Chains A and B, each alone.
Chain A
């Protein structure tokens, strides 16, 4: 069974600075998808960025980018020029891509990000 681990329960960053959130996963599959979701206090789950395992190029969405290391099974999220609105809980998630899979997401425990003004 696949597992996702986020080893940083809490992180903090100064406004305008850069922060990196860690995520590792365990799987025997070769093709899969990885995601980062943001959950602000409103509880809404917001998709931040996604990565296909077969793509070597790291995904980027504006101030958000990932460092995907397939061999190390690592998928970290970098937030540049941090803003107060980035404060939230961040979840890393894994999704199988095989034809028999059901498309469910497997989430890590989450990292609470605090942004200091």
Chain B
């Protein structure tokens, strides 16, 4: 049973370009969370999605960032017009249900975004 798959593992973008990060949840999981980890810091919640719905985007910057989880295909975190401050590791986690103790979050290995 494959775990949470994130790609690419590393992504380099120049300032002003767009970054698209993909996340395929574990089989049977319909809840996806995105987190950002700045260097030497903990993970910060960005957005929580279910299929075709954004449930909680309280951690998402208001501009340039968007996320989707279509009916078919992976979840996408999109960053437009990247700036150096967007350089971080972006993690995706999935769960079969949103809030059960018995459904802990399963994390992918993250995408490290470097903005030059």
Contact = CB atoms under 8 A, between A and B. Distances in A.
A102 B109 contact: no
A97 B101 contact: yes
B104 A35 contact: yes
B101 A52 contact: yes
Contact of A108 (B42, B89, B95, B109): B42
Contacts of B104: 35, 47, 50
Contacts of A105: 33, 35, 43, 45, 93, 105
B42 A103 contact: no
Interface residues of A, number: 28
B99 interface: yes
Contacts of A37: 107
Interface residues of B, number: 28
B22 interface: no
B12 interface: no
Interface stretch (A38-46, A60-68, A71-79, A80-88): A38-46
Interface string B74-112: 000000000000000101010101111100110101101
Given A104-B56, A106-B45, A42 B109 contact: yes
A14 B93 CA distance: 33
Contacts of A4: 42
Contact of A109 (B41, B56, B89): B41
A107 interface: yes
B48 A33 contact: no
B49 to A, nearest CB: 10
B91 A107 contact: no
A91 interface: yes
A101 interface: yes
Contacts of B40: 110
A105 B105 CA distance: 9
A96 interface: yes
Given A91-B42, A91-B43, A107-B44, A101 B107 contact: no
Interface of A: 4, 6, 33, 35, 37, 42-45, 47, 50, 52, 91, 95-99, 101-110
Given A45-B107, A103-B48, 8 more contacts: A42-B109, A45-B43, A47-B104, A50-B101, A103-B98, A105-B43, A106-B45, A107-B42
